[in-house]
């Protein structure tokens, strides 16, 4: 028998879905992108879903319930944005163990409602159930986009520019800080222990309260820029780059000195003695947008605040590589989040 961790998340998905054949004319894009795409008339509808499990995707030791709800909603909204679509509706399902009170569940939903209000999304349904294994949250988000304007992972072309919004690695370093303070607290060595979060607000917010790039999609539309391929950075930049390269049948070159990194992230990396570039490439949970655009759109990109050009698409034979500050090329490998790794391997 094959152990699930031997395959990993993405190869497991491939194994479970390789036999699927779309039967309905309305089903345009199935498994393999940030969202499915369906057509019911003048506009296309996109749909995504995420399952969040206590102890796997979040730790209630340091995650406020309202923040958890907000993040659970935003990560789904981010997937819709990654299809060049406008998020519109959301369904929320939740599994609740007996240790939770009504007021605590209301806190989770308050966070969900806040995220939806900010993004202009309606909560239109869902389900609730008892749980024997802790808290479980499942969210499905729908969005709409002009017919045939959804952006897939498979459209990148040679010479396209590779762009990313915001900055990278902050959410991962926020997680490292929270985990460190948790370990100190649980060790019991300091009875009067108080976590030291002074000056670390930015990286903590990036981990606990991420923001989907709804405004970026609006700006791209206003500038009449249609990306050729796009994903959100959830599992790490390296993983997402390889997804686009595989789906598009291309290679890429990304430049180390172009990776956008906030000062607070760099400072935290220094404190943890971690390699900054490795964190930026593999940290994950940034929920920024990674997208490619034709070289001819270069001037239009100059006016977009928070959008960084980090490299370009190459022919497939060139492979995917990081060009270091000293001009060396290093093969890009996927080292981001894998839910099925053994705990000791993480």
Residue 337 maps to which CATH number? 3.90.650.10
Cβ count near 61 (within 10 Å): 11
Binned at pLDDT 50, 70 and 90, residue 187 comes out as confident
Q: Average pLDDT for residues 78-99, to the nearest whole number?
A: 96
- In terms of domains, do 137 and 172 share one? no
- In terms of domains, do 300 and 183 share one? yes
Structural domains of the chain, count:
2
What whole-number distance in Å separates Cα of residue 207 and Cα of residue 234? Answer: 11
Where in the sequence is the domain holding 274, given as residue range(s)? 161-345
Residue 195 has pLDDT above 70, yes or no: yes
| Domain assignment present for 208 | yes
Q: Can you give the pLDDT at residue 4? A: 62
- In terms of domains, do 230 and 90 share one? no
Exposed, middle or buried, 43 (CB in 10 Å: 0-12/13-18/19+)? middle
Q: Can you give the pLDDT at residue 183? A: 87
- In terms of domains, do 241 and 115 share one? no
Q: Can you give the pLDDT at residue 343? A: 44
Residue 26 has pLDDT above 80, yes or no: no
Binned at pLDDT 50, 70 and 90, residue 25 comes out as confident
Sign of the torsion angle spanned by Cα atoms 178, 184, 185, 187: positive
What whole-number distance in Å separates Cα of residue 135 and Cα of residue 68? Answer: 11
- In terms of domains, do 244 and 281 share one? yes
- In terms of domains, do 64 and 96 share one? yes
Structure-derived torsion over alpha carbons of residues 311, 316, 319, 322, reported in degrees to the nearest 10: 0
- In terms of domains, do 181 and 291 share one? yes
Residue 41 has pLDDT above 90, yes or no: no
* Sheet containing 43-53: order of strands: 27-29, 36-39, 43-53, 136-146, 86-96, 122-130
Cβ contact 310:162 at 8 Å: yes
User: pLDDT, tens digit, for every residue of 142-153?
Assistant: 999 998 899 999
| Domain assignment present for 153 | no
Q: Can you give the pLDDT at residue 198? A: 83
């Amino acid at each position: 028998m094959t152990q699930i961790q031997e395959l990993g998340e993405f190869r497991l998905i491939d194994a479970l879905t390789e036999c699927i054949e779309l039967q309905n004319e309305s089903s345009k894009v199935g498994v393999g992108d940030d969202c499915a795409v369906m057509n019911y008339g003048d506009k296309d509808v996109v749909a995504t879903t995420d399952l969040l499990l206590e102890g796997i995707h979040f730790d209630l030791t340091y995650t406020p319930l309202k923040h958890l709800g907000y993040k659970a909603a935003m990560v789904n909204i981010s997937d819709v944005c990654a299809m060049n679509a406008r998020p519109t509706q959301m369904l929320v399902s939740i599994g609740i163990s007996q240790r939770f009170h009504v007021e605590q569940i209301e806190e989770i939903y308050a966070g969900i409602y806040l995220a939806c209000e900010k993004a202009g999304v309606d909560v239109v349904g869902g389900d609730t159930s008892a749980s024997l294994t802790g808290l479980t949250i499942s969210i499905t988000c729908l969005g709409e986009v002009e017919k045939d304007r959804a952006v897939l992972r498979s459209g990148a072309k040679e010479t396209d520019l590779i762009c990313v919004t915001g900055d990278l690695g902050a959410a991962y370093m926020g997680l490292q800080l929270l985990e460190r303070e948790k370990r100190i607290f649980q060790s019991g060595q300091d009875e009067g222990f108080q976590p030291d979060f002074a000056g670390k607000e930015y990286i903590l917010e990036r981990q606990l309260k991420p923001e989907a790039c709804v405004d970026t999609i609006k700006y791209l539309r206003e500038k009449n820029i249609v990306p050729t391929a796009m994903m959100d950075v959830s599992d790490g930049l390296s993983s997402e780059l390889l997804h686009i390269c595989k789906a598009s049948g291309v290679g890429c070159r990304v430049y180390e000195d172009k990776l956008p990194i906030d000062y607070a992230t760099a400072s935290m990396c220094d404190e943890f003695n971690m390699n900054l570039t490795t964190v930026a490439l593999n940290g994950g949970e940034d929920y920024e947008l990674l997208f490619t655009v034709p070289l001819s759109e270069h001037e239009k990109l100059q006016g977009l605040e928070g959008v960084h050009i980090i490299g370009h698409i190459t022919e497939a034979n060139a492979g995917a590589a990081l060009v270091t500050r000293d001009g060396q090329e290093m093969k890009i490998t996927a080292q981001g989040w894998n839910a099925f790794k053994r705990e000791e391997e993480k």
